[in-house]
Amino acid sequence: MRAMSVAFFDRVCEAMRRLAGDEHGNIATIFAIMSLPMLAFVGAAVDFARASSARSAMQSALDSTSLMLAKEAATASDLNARAAAVFKALYKHDEVTGVTVSAAYTPQRGTTPGKLVISGAGQLPTTFMKVVGVDKMEVGTSSTTTWASMKLRVALALDNTRSMEADAKLVELKKAAKILVNRLKETVIANGDVYISLVPFHWVVNIGNTSTTKPYLDWTWWDRAGSDTKGKSHAGWTGCVKDRAEPDDISATTSGKFPPELYMASNGKKTIDACTTLQPLLPLTYDFDAINTAIDAMVAVGGTNQPIGLFWAWWTLRSNAPFAAPPKDPNSQYLTAIVLLTDGENTGNAYYEDKSKGKSCNGTSACADVDKRQQLLCDAIKADNGTVIYTVDVNTDKGPSKPVLKACASGESKFFALTKAEQMTDAFEEIAASMRKLRVAQ
């Protein structure tokens, strides 16, 4: 397109030179003729804008075509015909004529990734540039999809606190989270290309009541039957755990243990929720239907403890018990990422809140201490093999954004400050798009 603009400029200049050398005619005629090149320049801007729009739409259609055909490239009997058919269904710029689409497939060999290149080209008839003899503009681009070189492992740490019931936030979160899952699913060529884990959280995280004898559980203050060391009766353990003690709360080491959370069977006149409503954590999986089912099952309850959701999201991406991540293919590269969404400020953790007594750190310096620990945790995660953190602040009360979330994100482009629940869909679409780009090479 740059060559086209240079040729156009040369033609206009030549026309002006011829006009300047012609001494015949009157001043009005000369002025009218002199205005034609200027009008051509203005009109050219319109034609170039049309061509740019057509090319952008072509790029988007080629990207989608490339991703769709990558799954069948090795077995398609006529890849060019399939590419043309898929592209035609996606590309809606009918004014572009003579469109051709071609596909070139290179299978994976050892550590060399498989590659599918889809190219498109066409001509856009000009509207104004015909004045200087330019009847059409070439429009063309290509898209390359690679696989085996980059795989995705994504953990979703999603706020399930009671405040998420307001303003349809939980409803919108479920919709947005499933859109992200489905967008990443669309990039899958082979099982294992994309793994996703789900970590619903509020004050605690439910890791599932698999066994009370696991070595990573700390029963110092409880017995397994549901009584504390002072003999007070509590509901039995249903799988919820609290934060590890410092410094293990921000560490990848396996030495620290997780205190189980047992709520008192009753607290005065109020029966305490025994954590049965918090959706259990789902480890890394490529069973996308199971992920969406777990998202639909999320329920809003409890207060806000962002660090524990973030910690367990990190833990699902690692090879540590109890949710050891699947082994990685040595011939592939990996992106590990966490998406942390919340609508509230931290109200405490295991060491700054006594849930059984209904206390929180609201309005005290203890909340700042929790935020400081969270920032250290964010730094540790980002330093762990380059894990990328996206943070989403859903602030429908239109108060100030949460500094700890902005600082936690892997750069400003990874932080989303929202003021409406329905904006979650656009935010998660953007997050998915940034991850999908790593599956589309060019």
Q: pLDDT by residue (tens digit) across 110-129?
A: 667 778 999 999 999 988 77
Residue 135 amino acid letter: D
Mark whether 217 and 138 lie in a shared domain: no
> Nearest 5 degrees, angle CA 184-CA 185-CA 187?
70
**Overall domain count for the chain:** 2
What was the pLDDT predicted at 368?
A: 81
What is the spatial distance between Cα 285 and Cα 3, in angstroms, rounded to a whole number? 49
Mark whether 243 and 128 lie in a shared domain: no
18 Cβ contact list (under 8 Å, min separation 6): none
Most confident residue range from 5-9, 202-206, 339-343 = 339-343
Q: Mark which of 113, 147, 181 sits at the end of a domain.
A: 147
Mark whether 141 and 156 lie in a shared domain: no
Mark whether 232 and 356 lie in a shared domain: yes
Are 350 and 166 a contacting pair, CB within 8 Å? no
Instruction: Answer yes or no: is pLDDT of 31 > 60.
Output: no
Q: pLDDT: is 390 or 403 the higher one?
A: 390
Q: Mark which of 147, 162, 177 sits at the end of a domain.
A: 147
Mark whether 140 and 155 lie in a shared domain: no
Residue 329 amino acid letter: D
Instruction: Answer yes or no: is pLDDT of 357 > 60.
Output: no
Mark whether 47 and 156 lie in a shared domain: no
The confidence band for 338, taking pLDDT boundaries of 50, 70 and 90, is very high
Domain assignment of residue 89, given as a range:
2-147
Q: Mark which of 91, 118, 147 sits at the end of a domain.
A: 147
The confidence band for 239, taking pLDDT boundaries of 50, 70 and 90, is confident
Percent residues over pLDDT 90 in the chain: 44
What was the pLDDT predicted at 11?
A: 60
The confidence band for 37, taking pLDDT boundaries of 50, 70 and 90, is low
Mark whether 369 and 221 lie in a shared domain: yes
What is the spatial distance between Cα 394 and Cα 402, in angstroms, rounded to a whole number? 10
DSSP string, 215-256: TTB--TTB-TTSBBTT--BBPPP-SEE-PPPTTGGG---S-S
Which residues make beta-bridge pairs with 255?
A: none
Instruction: Answer yes or no: is pLDDT of 265 > 50.
Output: no
What is the average per-residue pLDDT within 185-189? Answer: 85
Mark whether 113 and 174 lie in a shared domain: no
Name the average pLDDT for the chain.
81
Instruction: Answer yes or no: is pLDDT of 318 > 50.
Output: yes
With respect to residue 369, please indicate whether it lies within any of the assigned structural domains: yes
What is the average per-residue pLDDT within 86-104? Answer: 93
What was the pLDDT predicted at 39?
A: 63
